[in-house]
Amino acid sequence: MQLPKAGTIEIAPSVLSADFANLASEIKQVEQAGVKIIHLDVMDGHFVPNITFGPPIVAKLRKYSTLVFDTHLMITDPEKYAPRFVEAGANHITFHIEVVNKPERLIKELHNMGVTAGICLNPETPVDDIKKVAPLCDMVLVMTVHPGFGGQAFMPDAAEKIKAIRSIVGPAVRVEVDGGIDPETTPVVVSYGADTLVAGNAIFGESDRLAAIEAIRTAAK
């Protein structure tokens, strides 16, 4: 399982809005809809005011899915815990620039462990902070809500940063967007240069997941 090469639009359903008591079957449903990536939101109650799950859950889910595990670490100490998520079966690890002093080192470590690496920036974090490291990543994640919860309103100003990031990384690096993505906001972020669309509420908040994914796909065209 590897992050698809840049150049295609991919939808990455976020499990945050799924039924946590039935995660395996929830993931199966979106897998059947043809997505290649599932977005796993890891929260530590410290970097963000919410707590989700850790490596043991990822390891259990690995047995039920062949999707790319796009693991978004919203935790204060990604340097310490990233290897644990890789061992559990994560394929791609995204960490936040706000909490890592030596991002180059962590990116290299992730690559050495055989997974792809991503850097993420919060809505208030300037693009300048990731300018140097973004080209070293396989995917850059732009938050368009304050991280911590699903179902929040899309922040247009934060989305504008996608344009600058796309021009820094060029066409070979994926630019992922996370927060308030639905059929209405999708055309905006795609026009700015995003190619990987995380959607939680817009997919798992709908009873027909297939139709929900199709609606985002159509909006991205």
Residues annotated as catalytic are: 41, 178
Instruction: Give yes or no for residue 41 binding Zn ion (CB under 5 A).
Output: yes
Instruction: Give yes or no for residue 152 binding ligand DX5 (CB under 6 A).
Output: yes
Amino acid in position 67: L
Instruction: Give yes or no for residue 125 binding ligand DX5 (CB under 6 A).
Output: no
Closer residue to ligand DX5 in complex, CB, 116/185: 185
Determine the Cα–Cα distance for residues 132 and 17; give it in Å rounded to an integer.
Answer: 33
Instruction: Give yes or no for residue 148 binding ligand DX5 (CB under 6 A).
Output: yes
Determine the Cα–Cα distance for residues 47 and 64; give it in Å rounded to an integer.
Answer: 29
Instruction: From the list Zn ion, ligand DX5, none, pick the one residue 181 interacts with, judged by a Cβ distance below 5 to 8 Å according to partner type.
Output: ligand DX5
Calculate the dihedral angle through the C-alpha atoms of 2, 81, 16, 29, rounding to the nearest 10 degrees: 40
Using the rule CB under 6 A, which residue among 200, 212, 215, 220 binds ligand DX5?
Answer: 200
Using the rule CB under 6 A, which residue among 86, 145, 169, 215 binds ligand DX5?
Answer: 145
Residue with CB nearest Zn ion? 72
Strand ranges (DSSP E) for the chain?
Answer: 10-13, 37-43, 68-74, 92-96, 116-121, 139-143, 174-178, 196-199
Closer residue to ligand DX5 in complex, CB, 78/150: 150
Instruction: Give yes or no for residue 13 binding ligand DX5 (CB under 6 A).
Output: no
Using the rule CB under 6 A, which residue among 18, 199, 213, 219 binds ligand DX5?
Answer: 199
Q: Residue 72: CB partners within 8 Å, gap ≥ 6?
A: 39, 40, 41, 42, 94, 120, 141, 178, 198
Closer residue to ligand DX5 in complex, CB, 202/215: 202
Q: Is 177 exposed, middle or buried (0-12, 13-18, 19+ CB in 10 A)?
A: buried
Q: Is 123 exposed, middle or buried (0-12, 13-18, 19+ CB in 10 A)?
A: middle
Only one of the segments 26-34, 106-114, 152-160, 171-179 lies at the binding site for Zn ion (rule: CB under 5 A); that segment is: 171-179
Q: Summarize as ranges the residues that interact with Zn ion (CB under 5 A).
A: 41, 72, 178
Q: Summarize as ranges the residues that interact with ligand DX5 (CB under 6 A).
A: 14, 16-17, 39, 41, 72, 145, 147-148, 150-152, 178-181, 198-202
